[in-house]
Structure 1
Amino acid sequence: MVKRYDPNRIPDLNPPENREILIRYVRHNELNRVSPNTITNKIARLAPFLKWAGIVADKIPASTIEDYFLDRMGRLSQATINGDVIEWRVFYNWLIGADAAKELLKNIQKSRKVRELPVEQILTRSDIQELINHAEKMRDKALVGLLWDSGARITEILDINIGNVTFDRFGATVIVRGKTGRRQLRLVSSVPDLMELIEQHPYKTNHQNPLFVTSRAYSGGGARRLAGRTVNALLDRLGKQAGIQKPCNPHAIRHARLTDLAREGLSEMELRIVAGWAKSSNMPEVYLHLSGADVERKILKSAGIVTEEEERREVAMNPVKCPRCREMNSPGSMFCRKCSMALTASSMTEIDDAQRRIQEELVRTPDLAEQLIALLKKNK
């Protein structure tokens, strides 16, 4: 069954004719097989504009649209403004025809500035691990891990149902639906947390339920899918708690992951598949240029300044296999979640130090040892 956009999500507008116009626009897009996520984004750009204008859409003069454009240009990013302009053109082409739309919007242009990506603001693997470490709920740990591991859009992640995740001997795969249709993504680092999330999931008996749900169900008891704004607030809070002085949001994680994959040597075609970009998109060039095939690291390596051993010391976002019980644990785990064995040198040292402190305390306080023995006998 094809999922459809719910027109009840369109807010009331004044004049009310504008809401009817948007309902017709939704129908037009559905007939042209536009995904519900894309329709949601379209309405999110158009509804605030129509509410601000307060005039029936096909009667709004060019000067009003230009005023709205200038008002947003002073407050929002260029990428957001460009998205507005693109959607206005598509909407008015449908509403009043291509020629009339071209005349109406002739004074409004997208920015032609070359897309630049601030390298110093890109999240690192260490940053991602810190976000995961500061998450308290298993849902949030799995969410951050999946955002990184998949490199998918937040709308694609939140649209995943339990049944879209399949575990196998290599880890897991997940099917997402994006702008270019459905695609299957291989998962590695997020698998342990995903397994635990599904094991704890309150609605796991029905695989059609959302993978990521809120703590509050609908009044009828049904699962409530996690919202994008909730994820934005969560990541912002985790970033502040971790002391990360970079933007922490779903797109920043996707941006970081795709940059990381480009550095790892994925080709342009492979990046298109993972990211869900159309063949006409120039986005792969941006990431391949940004990574520069990691030119700096290669120069340092050829000069003997950086060795292969030092490269391996970089944070590896890979599951950790317990040498005792063979359980796969999430990246950065200090102890096995199944048998509690120490998995890192630091955790082994921590155990040794704790044992030493206990022994010293027992030597200093003989009565404490007798109390512990009595307590153990009592609880047998």
Structure 2
Amino acid sequence: MSLEKSNKIGVGTATIIGMNAMIGAGIFGITSLLASKVGAAGILTYLFAFFAVWFIAQSIARAAYLWPEQGSFYTYTRQWGGHTMGLIAASAYLLGFLFAMTLLCRIIGEYLHNLIPSVSAEVLGTITLTVLIGLNMMGAVLSQIGQYILIACTLFPLIATTFLCFTKMSPVNLNPFMPYGIISVIEGTRVAIFGLFGFESVTALFNIVEKPEKNVPKALLYALCIVGIIYFFFISSIILAVPLTVFTSNPDATIPQALQFLFPDYTFIVHLINFAIISAMLGTVHSMIWAGSELLLSFCTITRSPRLQKLVKNGTITQKTTVLACGLIIFICFKNIHNKDLFFTLTDIGLIFPYITTMIALLFQQAEWKSGQNIKTILGLTTACIIFGISIHKLIEPMIL
């Protein structure tokens, strides 16, 4: 028993793992769009997104505890929708995941364009994506040291930008607070939630955490709170310091461009922040292409297709071939979808759909109703459906106008 316990991790380690899963480069892509679409009220939008994620995460953690098997969203959804519905949920999650990576590649191109203005962001993004796919094809993955460098490259610009912007904050930038109306505050949630995706990774820790029923929800709470606070101050500092016109005149404005406007004499620091953000994004996409290939490989193993199972068994479908498949999907999306706002919409639809199908599975468990656990599930399901509905509306809006 002592040996088994020694292999388990505590709440502290689980919290750090959760933070690493959530703190990602996505936060650097949402702030300018959030400010341009919502205005200063984007602070409220982020808070709504945070509480929505909190209730969704609690529900998914509960599902992971009840069904700790391979397949995650496929396994959860299968409990009520069967094999076909499970595959649909798993496919949606994979597609949402790949849309998110494509969006990051597009944002990387914009950040690199700041450094190399003579080359278009489209070309720089294409080159970046090609190189990252090639590295993954060669089996190059981030080492443990690389992971530490990645988290440092993410935290440094978050903390440095927050500190710099708070020295320039002015209540004048809060007026007008809600220039596009209260509806924009709710609609902006589909953008704000992008920076919090990854929380579902924490729920995979049940098999390695001591007293998982008690400690995984704790780790999830601590990780969400710490990351949520960091993000809140980051977004708030930018909105309080940068005049809204900077973002409305250019919705694609990067964080370094906003900082250069505020601190024209701090060129070195701004370039350093720009370099750190680019490094964080590159590391994130590099790691996530590999993670996406593992998701696809897992998808191929859980499907009932004899052909796919045979291809996996005889070694035709391997990690390398799934890397190539994921890379091709990202590349096709990158070359054919140019609207960043559409990427946020597609990512939300892909990722939130399996969240919803997972929470529905909990509603079919009588014990959950008796224990009162489904109060959290209903709250999570309600907020998820609101964001999902907004994303669907944004997707079909051009077709009905």
Asked if Structure 1 and Structure 2 have the same fold, meaning a TM-score greater than 0.5 normalized by the shorter chain, the answer is: no
In the superposition, the TM-score normalised over structure 1's length comes to 0.23
Write 1 or 2 for the structure with the bigger share of strand: 1
Write 1 or 2 for the structure with the bigger share of helix: 2
Q: Which has the higher contact order (CA 8 A, sep 6+)?
A: 2
Q: Greater CA radius of gyration, 1 or 2?
A: 1
